[in-house]
Structure 1
């Protein structure tokens, strides 16, 4: 087995855990099955993660970072605020459609953490990460486009996290991809109404 730095090995095991959990469910995924998915021995897993709790936290952080990267890449300033916001939502939406199992996993991780004694803080951390991610995106966009918000950043960040969370679950349950152009347009218009563009 090829030796690699522990940080890289942790990333390898986290990616393997995401694949295994998306396929088999969180409760049905064991440390042994993750090690097998990654093609390493069980001792390597325990060297990198001292508990399944640590692994779940790494999985939550990795998934959130990926989603944020997708949106951040698309959220470049465009001609108007609406076009910019719409591009960010579209990028996220395209990711949901392309990777429904990975997005479904996020909800399963939440339920798993809330119902398992000692893991409850991981569910809280998961949603704190969502809020932190939106806060960062809002502040970057505000600075680059000279925007003034009608509501506090913390309120808008929490609102966007809750709205995205609900819309994603709604799609995973109902599907109906054809209606989502209108849904995203409506959300974009609402976000636009919460922001004021300052004069140069």
Structure 2
């Protein structure tokens, strides 16, 4: 009986987890590791430990760290697309723009690891996979533009204005993220959310004649 037990592998006592689920766990673990250690310090061993899995399983799911990072980049971009869609109040263009900006900033505030990992991944994607990095970022921007176009369907806005507004939203949100990532002061970040929103309100008032609204 003892010999039979010895002949079994430890994996035989562990419930089998689908590869897709394992990949999802490794992706989320990689976000945390990248946020703490940066791209260069995000070793497969650290990622496996963060996911509470063995290194062999990670290499079984991914042929290379680059392939894992590509999925991490896609995952982060998809989360932001979800935030943008969830922030759509089905109101007018100005209200929609404010909701998108505030939704993204709140997401950064509540998910500091995403703020840190996103900044790291953007630089990595540009260096390693320039065209693909641009494509994924552009997909997120197109989600913003599509949401803005939908909000302005009753009063069509020039495409150029939609493009400009999408750029303003991205710039303000990214600037907020960088400051939050740098200082990590939640109290200051909360105040800066209001300042950032007021900057958007000023732009909207000039370009769309929209009066700022109370938070």
TM-score w.r.t. structure 2 length? Answer: 0.74
CA RMSD of aligned residues (A): 2.8
Cα displacement (A) at 1:2: 2.6
Cα displacement (A) at 1:113: 4.9
Preserved CA contact (<8 Å) 2:38 2:120: yes
Q: Deviations over 1:108-163 (max 9, x none)?
A: 2233455xxxx5216x5334322212212322442354132350766654554344
| 1:29-68 aligned within 5 A | 29-68=42-81
Residues 194/129 of structure 1: CA separation in 2 closer, same or farther (3 Å cut): farther
* Structure-1 separation of matches of 2:53 and 2:207: 50
Aligned to 2:193, the other structure's residue is in SS state helix
User: Would you say how many aligned residue pairs link Structure 1 and Structure 2?
Assistant: 191
The answer to whether structure 1 residue 14 and structure 2 residue 27 are counterparts is: yes
Residues 143/101 of structure 1: CA separation in 2 closer, same or farther (3 Å cut): closer
The answer to whether structure 1 residue 131 and structure 2 residue 138 are counterparts is: yes
Aligned to 2:157, the other structure's residue is in SS state strand
Aligned residue among 112, 126, 131 for 1:100? 112
Q: Rg larger in 1 or in 2?
A: 2
Residues 50/191 of structure 1: CA separation in 2 closer, same or farther (3 Å cut): farther
Q: Deviations over 1:49-104 (max 9, x none)?
A: 111111111111111211221221011212x3222211111111111122223212
Residues 126/194 of structure 1: CA separation in 2 closer, same or farther (3 Å cut): farther
* Structure-1 separation of matches of 2:165 and 2:140: 12
Aligned residue among 90, 100, 114 for 2:102? 90
TM-score w.r.t. structure 1 length? Answer: 0.78
* Structure-2 separation of matches of 1:68 and 1:192: 26
